[in-house]
Amino acid sequence: MRDGCIRWDPIRGREVSPRQSLSPYRERELRSLSVYLHMRIAEYLSKDLPYKLSPDNVFVTNASSNLEVRHFDLLPERGWEADLEAVEAIADENTVALVIVNPGNPCGNVCSYQHLEKVAKTAKKLGIMVISDEVFSHLIFGSKPFVPMGVFGSTVPVLTLGSLSKRWLVPGWRLGWFVVNDPTGILKETKVFDSIKGCLHAFSDPSTFVQGAIPYILQKTEEDFFRDIISVLKQNSKVCYNKINEMQCITYPHKSEGSPYAMLN
Ligand SMILES: Cc1ncc(COP(=O)(O)O)c(C=O)c1O
């Protein structure tokens, strides 16, 4: 290969210019970092699931992409649960996924096990997968536990989105992941898994320094760190709820149970 040629980069899965290319030593180093990183993320998420995720099901990202989006309502009188009848009404043969955000931005809601089960059954009925944005996972302070949508991976395939930015308070680090929860192998069988892998070139990689820190962060963060954050969120949410209830012109239909958000009317 001559200098100045575009070359295939096996780590990035795409062509790179000479400036972006890596020496064989650097490639080996990065590949083993990447395998280690995927193992640690799979291990971290498997703690909350009834099955074990494989590192091959983990994709590390720092960006997003473009699709047609159809909106459905969340219902304040039902604690901001998704209006699943509306989901059925707007889905058609081109629909590929139902997206939920749990814990919720912007409503501060936390989905119950029962509601997530209904979400899974609705998606199964429509023949689509669920994309569950769980970047606020575990940031909860109400009566409901956090239940990962991946718990229903045997009912319907689930893509879970996660990020360092919220639970660890490092938004500038730009490292997230999406994980395929597909214990029955539907996405592999139907080649959707391969398409997901094929789209990875649309994302740029997170900084390697941050990738290198992830295994340590996931394994070594002390429980006190999380407890302190939740205590501040809980306190702020209480002050917000009490103050807003003193106001005449605004209502607060459902008290926040997680995330730093509250939805007012
Ligand atoms: C629900 C939700 N998902 C994803 C993101 C993106 O997270 P990140 O900061 O890791 O890009 C945000 C950011 O606020 C969010 O609120």
Region 237-241: mean pLDDT is 95
Determine whether the shortest distance from the Cβ of 171 to ligand 1 is under 6 A: yes
For residue 11, what pLDDT is reported?
A: 46
Phi-psi category of residue 138: left, alpha or beta, with phi > 0 → left and psi -120 to 50 → alpha:
left
Does residue 138 sit in helix, strand or coil? coil
Q: Provide, rounded to the nearest whole percent, the portion of the chain with pLDDT above 90.
A: 68
**How far, in Å, from the CA of 101 to the mean position of ligand 1?**
10
φ, ψ for residue 160, nearest 5 deg: -105, 130
Tell me the CA–centroid distance for residue 63 and ligand 1, in Å. 10
pLDDT digits (tens, 9 = 90+) for 164-179: 999 999 999 989 999 9
Confirm or reject: Cβ of 148 under 6 Å from ligand 1.
Answer: no
pLDDT, mean of residues 1-8? 49
Tens digits of per-residue pLDDT, 180-233? 999 999 999 999 888 888 877 767 788 888 988 999 999 999 999 999 999 999
> Looking at residues 59-69, what average pLDDT do you find?
72
Mean of the pLDDT values across residues 226-254? 94
Q: CA-to-CA distance for 123 and 22, rounded, in angstroms?
A: 43
Domains of the chain, CATH where assigned? 9-220 (3.40.640.10)
